[in-house]
Chain A
Amino acid sequence: MTAYLKLDHIDKIFTRGAATTEVLKDINLTIEKGEYVSIIGHSGCGKSTLLNIIAGLTGATTGGVLLENREVNSPGPDRAVVFQNHSLLPWLTVYENVRLGVDKVFARTKSRAERDAWVMHNLNLVQMAHARDKRPSEISGGMKQRVGIARALAMEPKVLLLDEPFGALDALTRAHLQDSVMALHQKLGNTILMITHDVDEAVLLSDRIVMMTNGPSARIGEVLEVPLSRPRKRLELATNATYLKCRQRVLEFLYERHRFVEAA
């Protein structure tokens, strides 16, 4: 097994004045190329902090992140992030939002026309080409998140980081987008790391589920393989024994062994 993305003994300690809080403790994880890994845990367990460390937006206190055996400690387009609240720039159109990243990443390698085509190609992938000249305020929440995904994909990241990407969406839109992401993963073979707190979402989408214990000092409690063949169909899986077993396993972890303690 070759490690594509490797989290090596990551600790994170926040210091505010004299008070220090250890958020993450000794996080080790290796992810293979093309793998879809979810990180699940109760809110406040530091999973978003972990994603920020991988993205390079926050530094780890000790330990580090290796991508293709090279340490990465600052943000970059090789680890594009799809943010929870889409984070599209409201003064730019859908097209311009995607183009912003494309212009930076492919400034030398693609001509203007190629960059334009590449933006449209990625908007097509998420079925948003029809809204290219709309501003974010003129499209629905699900569409915004689609554009957010297109923006990240268009940077051709080595790892795609999804930070609770469907958290702010209604259940039907969420299911629709989950199917889209599954299809994209199938088609493009990206390496994806997703933060989530939705058990069904984690089991449906992931090859492996990383379950985190409660903070402070959150650790990786358990890693669960999801041995379901792809493409996966939501309806068929509802009665699939393996699916149900995986789901059961995650639920047990979250609600029995590591029950959320209210503001301890």
Chain B
Amino acid sequence: MNMPATKIELETATPAAAVAPVVAMTPKRPPRAETYARMARETAVRVIPPLVVIALLTLVWELICRRAGSALPPPSRVFTDTKELILDPFFDHGGIDKGLFWHLSASLQRVAFGYSLSAIAGIGLGVLVGQSVWAMRGLDPLFQVLRTIPPLAWLPLSLAAFRDGQPSAIFVIFITSIWPIIINTAVGIRNIPQDYRNVAAVVQLNPLEFFSKIMIPAAAPYIFTGLRIGIGLSWLAIVAAEMLIGGVGIGFFIWDAWNSSHISEIILALFYVGIVGFVLDRLIAGLGKVVTRGTAQN
């Protein structure tokens, strides 16, 4: 009920600024500089501590691994050994002798494929289980058992079924990441407040409209929790699966480096795997934030 009051303030404030623009501009500038300074300070507060920690850890690593006969290379060796790989990630000498960009992109393509399938199937099954008591009674025990099976345990079976590495890897990603998506979606659907269902009933939304206009937005925060866990799991699974199926991919790159005793290359690849996994997680989290901006505030 304080709307009128704010309105009056706005109305009085605007003409004052219009009448005396010069006066308004001089006090405006220092605050802007101040905001930049504050932003810089805030960024520094967040960026400096991890940088210090990384520098210290690198130093410790260097000191431990520098002596002769050390099993693992120190960071300086890693850098000199992998300089070419770092500087030119795009080379392609045919076969599996490719730059890291190609390996990563092959892995990401598999993840994108498998994860998209599991997102669609997972949300679909989650809605079914969340909406229907009978579907839940029938499927939930099955899900609870299947989801405990480690990703790689599926690989021999899928190789036997598909007789090819590529679809097998995609299947492993699919089967690994689908469970958290199903379970979280189902919880989200079950938690839709009765009020929203009543609104839909009074307005007489048909099932399709109810699905798109009430169910999905209401359950979106839960769905995105599942999607976020799922993307993490699928990135975990792809590296392991690729070690076994071979071909182009960051997982096989690591395995190949191990077989040729290029320990520095393994370390570099691990670094990239970590960064990509982090970016994927942030991507889904950011997408979730945008999509659920209305619901989450409730």
Measured in the bound complex, the distance between the Cα atoms of B198 and A11 in whole Å is 22
Q: Known contacts being A90-B295, A90-B298, A135-B294, is A142 close to B1, with CB within 8 Å?
A: yes
Q: Of A78-86, A111-119, A206-214, A217-225, which binds chain B? A: A78-86
Q: Known contacts being A87-B196, A172-B1, A173-B1, is A75 close to B297, with CB within 8 Å?
A: no
- Enumerate chain A residues within 8 angstroms of B34, measured Cβ to Cβ: none
Is B195 in contact with A83, judged by CB distance below 8 angstroms? Answer: yes
Q: Known contacts being A90-B294, A172-B1, is A100 close to B213, with CB within 8 Å?
A: yes
- Enumerate chain A residues within 8 angstroms of B293, measured Cβ to Cβ: 91
Q: Does A155 contact B (CB under 8 A)?
A: yes
Is B295 in contact with A76, judged by CB distance below 8 angstroms? Answer: no
Is A87 in contact with B199, judged by CB distance below 8 angstroms? Answer: yes
Q: Does B279 contact A (CB under 8 A)?
A: no
Q: Does B205 contact A (CB under 8 A)?
A: yes
Is A80 in contact with B202, judged by CB distance below 8 angstroms? Answer: yes
Is B205 in contact with A89, judged by CB distance below 8 angstroms? Answer: no
Measured in the bound complex, the distance between the Cα atoms of B193 and A83 in whole Å is 13
Q: Could you tell me the distance in whole angstroms from the C-beta of B126 to the nearest C-beta in chain A?
A: 19
The interface size of chain B toward A, counting residues with CB under 8 Å, comes to: 24
- Enumerate chain B residues within 8 angstroms of A92, measured Cβ to Cβ: 294
Is A176 in contact with B1, judged by CB distance below 8 angstroms? Answer: yes
Instruction: Kindly state the interface size class of chain A when it binds its partner.
Output: 20 to 34
Measured in the bound complex, the distance between the Cα atoms of B47 and A264 in whole Å is 63
Is B202 in contact with A137, judged by CB distance below 8 angstroms? Answer: no
- Enumerate chain A residues within 8 angstroms of B25, measured Cβ to Cβ: none
Q: Does B20 contact A (CB under 8 A)?
A: no
Is B203 in contact with A101, judged by CB distance below 8 angstroms? Answer: yes
Specify the chain B residue showing the minimal Cβ separation from A139.
Answer: B3
Q: Does A57 contact B (CB under 8 A)?
A: yes
Q: Does A192 contact B (CB under 8 A)?
A: no
Within 8 A of A (CB), among B251-298: 292-295, 297-298
Residues of B at the A interface (CB closer than 8 Å) are 1, 3, 193, 195-196, 198-199, 201-205, 209, 213-214, 217-218, 220, 292-295, 297-298
| 8 A-B residue pairs with CB within 8 Å | A56-B201, A76-B204, A87-B199, A89-B196, A89-B214, A90-B298, A104-B205, A142-B1
Given A75-B204, A87-B193, list of 11 further CB < 8 A pairs? A75-B201, A76-B202, A81-B198, A83-B195, A87-B196, A89-B214, A104-B203, A104-B209, A130-B3, A135-B297, A137-B297
